């Protein structure tokens, strides 16, 4: 899948639409999800144009990958869910119901999150 530069997170990165920023580095941006599914629901995205985990893991530089992994941990500590626990997930493609075609890791927490997956 080719990267679509009109996706909503690309527009956030270009400053065309606002976000509630939590954290930013040279390679990453983190902001609150607009429709939170838990008391803490933050999205961490790379600044590079990567559709999903599949694209990022294949094409990103080692520096981008290291920065992204580091940022996810840093953000979880920053929003205070490291002690109580949190769940990370990243949707890729059709079966995951990925909505926004720019890689993002969801950090969710702030309450017990229940079982991992439910059947449709």
Q: Is 23 a catalytic residue?
A: no
Taking the least distance from each CB to ligand 5GP, the nearer of 63 and 113 is: 113
Question: Which residues contribute to the site for ligand 5GP (CB under 6 A)?
Answer: 8, 19, 31-35, 91, 97-100
Between the alpha carbon of residue 102 and those of residues 63, 112, 120, the distances in Å are 18, 28, 25
CB of 15 to ligand 5GP, least distance (A): 13
Closest contact distance (angstroms) between CB of 19 and ligand 5GP is 5
Element (H, E) at 32: strand 28-32
The catalytic residues are 104
């Amino acid at each position: 899948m080719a990267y679509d530069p009109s996706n909503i997170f690309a527009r956030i990165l270009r400053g065309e639409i606002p976000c509630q920023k939590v954290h930013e580095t040279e390679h990453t941006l983190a902001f609150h999800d607009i429709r939170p599914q838990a008391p803490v629901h933050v999205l961490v995205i790379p600044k590079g144009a990567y559709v999903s985990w599949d694209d990022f893991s294949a094409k990103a530089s080692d520096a981008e990958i290291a920065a992204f992994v580091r940022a996810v941990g840093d953000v979880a500590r920053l929003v205070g869910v490291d002690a109580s626990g949190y769940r990370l997930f990243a949707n890729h493609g059709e079966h995951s119901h990925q909505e926004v075609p720019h890689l993002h890791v969801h950090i969710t927490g702030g309450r017990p999150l229940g079982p991992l997956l439910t059947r449709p």
